[in-house]
Structure 1
Amino acid sequence: MAIDNTPMLVPHLVVEDAAAAIDFYAHAFGATEEIRLLHPEGKIIHACVRINGAPVFLNDDFPEYNDGKSSTPSALGGASVTIHLHGPDVDARFKRAVEAGATVVAPLEDQFWGDRYGVLRDPFGHQWSLAESVREVDYGAMAEDMAQQAR
């Protein structure tokens, strides 16, 4: 494999069942698996999938490599990051994710900023927002409207 130092920012998710998560992300978000590396005990120590063309890393929870502490969303009481997926046909993508097992956190609705937007939680505790731009918005006018509403 050739060395590749392309700058990138990649979300790296810790889950309780990485193999099931890979299957879920494939069904829910159309993820394609690129690599899966197994720990000698059989758990996934590193995997990479692509969603919307972008890499997402994930692995099973390994408390023994984290001062004995689990780092899954359920162990931490929730996820502090929302992963955002933007693109066409958000209604179909949202529906597919729910049918695959995601839970609706915020329903898909047209928003004042011009996107059709909703939020889901995957079965592993990670939060995902899905959006599609549906109309042009004048951000200056939007900021002014928001300032007026705050008064």
Structure 2
Amino acid sequence: MAIENTPMLVPHLVVDDAAAALDFYAKAFGAEEMVRMPGPGGKLIHACMRINGSLVFLNDDFPEFNDGRSSTPTALGGTPVTIHLQGPDVDARFQRALDAGATVVNPLEDQFWGDRYGVVRDPFGHHWSLAETVREVDMAELLAQMNAQA
């Protein structure tokens, strides 16, 4: 068996119920589960899924391996990270996430930079932005819009 060391950058999410999260991400974002590795006490020590063609790692919270601290967004009081999903038919994708149990952080709206864009919070506390480019915006217009909103 050959060992592959393909360079990549993969978000790694920590949640309170990784099995439920895998189910949610499949319903909300069409995630394809690649790997599910059980760990102690029925928790998942590692999982891998593919969303929008990209890998996302996932595991249950294990404070005992993190200096005794929980590292879920809920335990931390929120998340500073937003995972971005770009693609066609954003209205349907946004509604699909809501139907699966996500909540609106920022409603889906046409934005001055040319995207139809909104943000949801998944049931595990992670933020996901969803967007579709609906019009091209040149840099002069973009800067003018930004200055008008300042």
Same fold (TM over 0.5): yes
The ranges of structure 1 where at least 4 consecutive aligned residues each deviate by more than 3 angstroms after the TM superposition are: none
Is contact 2:46-2:58 (8 Å) kept?
yes
SS where residue 67 of structure 1 aligns?
coil
Q: What is the alpha-carbon root mean square deviation over aligned residues? A: 1.1
Q: CA deviation at 1:42?
A: 1.6
Query: 5+ residue gaps in structure 1?
Result: none
Q: Are the aligned partners of 2:112 and 2:145 in contact in 1 as well (CA < 8 Å)?
A: no
**In 2, Cα distance between equivalents of 1:145 and 1:95:** 28
* Rounded Cα–Cα distance in structure 2 between residues aligned with 1:72 and 1:144: 39
Partner of 2:69: 69
State the AA in 1 paired with 2:98.
V
Q: What's the counterpart of residue 25 of structure 2?
A: 25
Q: Does 1:114 align with 2:114?
A: yes
Q: TM-score when scaled to structure 1?
A: 0.95
Which runs of no fewer than 5 residues in structure 2 stay unpaired?
Answer: none
Aligned residues: 150
Q: In 1, distance between residues paired with 2:31 and 2:67?
A: 31
State the distance in 2 between where 1:149 and 1:72 align.
34
Question: Structure 2 vs 1, CA of residues 144 and 74 (structure 1 numbering), >3 Å: closer, same or farther?
Answer: same
User: In structure 2, how many angstroms separate the alpha carbons of the residues matched to 1:75 and 1:130?
Assistant: 25
What's the counterpart of residue 47 of structure 2? 47
Q: TM-score, normalised by structure 2?
A: 0.96
User: What per-residue deviation string (whole Å, max 9, x for no partner) do you get for residues 12-55 of structure 1?
Assistant: 00000000000000000000000011114221000000000100
Which residue number corresponds to residue 5 of structure 1? 5
How far apart are the structure 2 equivalents of 1:28 and 1:93?
8
